[in-house]
Amino acid sequence: MEEKENQTQVGLKSSLDSEQFSQSQDKELDVAVRAVQMACSLCQRVQDGLISRTGGNEIQSKDDNSPVTVADWSVQATVSWVLSEAFGSRNVSIVAEEDVQTLSKPCAAGLLEAVVKTVNKSLVDAPHFGLKGPEMPLGTSEVLEAISRCNSNGGPTGRFWALDPVDGTLGFVRGDQYAIALALIEDGEVVLGVLGCPNYPMRKEWLGYHHRYHRIVSKLTPPTSESWDKGCVIYARRGSGKAWMQPLLHVNKKLVWPNSARPVRVSSIDNPSMATFCEPVEKANSSHSFTAGLAHSVGMRKQPLRVYSMVKYAAIARGDAEVFMKFARAGYKEKIWDHAAGVVVIQEAGGMVTDARGRPLDFSKGTYLEGLDRGIIASAGATLHDKIITAVDASWDSSSL
């Protein structure tokens, strides 16, 4: 009898534990989605400003000649601050792209001031996103601290967030596609991912409209003004078998939290002749000629969809395209924040992501995807995936990569 009572208590305890565990996971996803929504709003403001002005110091060049902007630092500070506020700074470890070196130089005072202003402008809106903002505007040192707190190196054990504050910064400065990517990694596995895609409309048909007209002639009314959703946030928790999409929240339009979400699913197309593949816009980031050869050899006949940023992962998860391929130049090491959120979102939406040998991406080795073989393949399913991997094997040796 006593034993039975003990068993019941143990059973009760373990079910409570798992409930508490899932509640804490829900809180993490919930806060991550809100933080990314807020970051999307921040980026839209900065991008609109960049497009209407020319010059200024908002865009800087990093050592590798890639751009970094007020938005990259401001999103990193804002998301870092929000996560610390929600979970306590001692419990939050973040691996992120940007550092404070450029910002801390005496000659960068104007830039730093712009970042502090942008962060505070964004945090004032925190309640619209169901988040708590600071009681007082953050000072310069608090903003710098929030950015530099993202100094985790990742690794095989424990939990850390991986943040790409603006992915596709080149697309961002060109008024085009970009993404905000936030993932939580636990013992080397991505457990949740959120992709904010401020210029990727809820409906694919609006993409062309958006690009061709909306940015250039902003006074044009949207196609269906009532349901015009300029961007979206896609997210998933590992093991749930579902990925979700929300429209962007608009503080000005009183479209605030709680937001509506709908499930997204990968495409059911498995015939290469009907499949569309995505790849990076810049040839420097991926060999367009090698991917064209692969596409041809598996029978993919459609024009590639060249899109900046992890919007490519979002496109696969939503079923707007069937394949994503990236073959960076030899020696380039892919970073975890460029892929973590996209991988879990695609997998939970029913798709696959591996390296070009068919092995899972390894998020347990620190900042880089160490051991990545040749390139990255994401797809809507095993039929397309296997064909592409077989084609890579057949053509790799004769390629100049």
Ligand X SMILES: Nc1ncnc2c1ncn2[C@@H]1O[C@H](COP(=O)(O)OS(=O)(=O)O)[C@@H](OP(=O)(O)O)[C@H]1O
Residues in the site for ligand X, rule: CB under 6 A?
Answer: 66, 97, 164, 167-171, 280-282, 284-285, 308-309, 328-329, 332, 335, 338
Which one-letter amino acid corresponds to residue 237?
A: R
Q: Active-site residue among 72, 176, 229, 355?
A: 72
| CB 249, min distance to Mg ion, A | 22
Stretch that binds Mg ion, among 78-86, 161-169, 226-234, 292-300 (CB under 5 A): 161-169
Residue 322 touches which of ligand X, Mg ion, none (Cβ within 5-8 Å per kind): none
Residue 308 touches which of Mg ion, ligand X, none (Cβ within 5-8 Å per kind): ligand X
User: Known catalytic residue: 320?
Assistant: no
| CB 358, min distance to ligand X, A | 21
How buried is residue 146: exposed, middle or buried, by Cβ count under 10 Å (0-12/13-18/19+)?
A: buried
Check residue 51 and report its DSSP letter: H
Q: What is the CA radius of gyration of the chain?
A: 21
> 388 vs 57, 267, 297, 369, CA distance in Å?
43, 17, 9, 21
Residue 328 touches which of Mg ion, ligand X, none (Cβ within 5-8 Å per kind): ligand X
Closest residue to Mg ion: CB criterion: 167
Among 164, 176, 279, 322, binds Mg ion (CB under 5 A): 164
| CB 387, min distance to ligand X, A | 22
Residue 170 touches which of Mg ion, ligand X, none (Cβ within 5-8 Å per kind): ligand X
Among 85, 338, 348, 355, binds Mg ion (CB under 5 A): 338
Rounded CA separation 205/223 (Å): 10
User: Known catalytic residue: 125?
Assistant: no
The answer to whether 167 is annotated as binding is yes
Backbone angles phi, psi at 175, to 5 degrees: 75, 20
The answer to whether 338 is annotated as binding is yes
Rounded CA separation 194/310 (Å): 11
Residue 280 touches which of Mg ion, ligand X, none (Cβ within 5-8 Å per kind): ligand X
Residue nearer to Mg ion on the CB measure, 28 or 97: 97
Residue 209 structure tokens: 């409209």
Residue nearer to ligand X on the CB measure, 133 or 198: 198
Residue 8 structure tokens: 């019941």
Residue 285 touches which of Mg ion, ligand X, none (Cβ within 5-8 Å per kind): ligand X
Among 28, 58, 85, 167, binds Mg ion (CB under 5 A): 167
Could you list the beta-strand ranges (E) of 136-279.
159-167, 179-186, 189-197, 232-237, 243-247, 262-264, 277-279
Which one-letter amino acid corresponds to residue 383?
A: T
Residue 197 lies near Mg ion (rule: CB under 5 A): no
The answer to whether 397 is annotated as binding is no
Footprint on residues 76-115 left by Mg ion (CB under 5 A): 97
| CB 67, min distance to ligand X, A | 8
> 144 vs 46, 113, 147, 187, 364, CA distance in Å?
19, 11, 5, 28, 28
DSSP-assigned states of every residue in 65-78? S-EEEHHHHHHHHH
Residue nearer to ligand X on the CB measure, 27 or 333: 333
Residue 61's contacts (CB-CB under 8 Å, 6 or more residues apart) are: 67, 68
Check residue 322 and report its DSSP letter: S
Residue nearer to ligand X on the CB measure, 68 or 184: 68
- Residue 134, SS3 per DSSP: coil
**Count of chain residues binding Mg ion (CB under 5 A):** 7
Residue nearer to ligand X on the CB measure, 203 or 306: 306
Q: Active-site residue among 69, 78, 118, 169?
A: 169
Residue 83's contacts (CB-CB under 8 Å, 6 or more residues apart) are: 31, 32, 35, 92, 94, 161
The answer to whether 176 is annotated as binding is no
Residue nearer to ligand X on the CB measure, 89 or 367: 367
**Binding site for Mg(2+): which residues?**
97, 164, 167, 338
Known catalytic residues? 72, 169
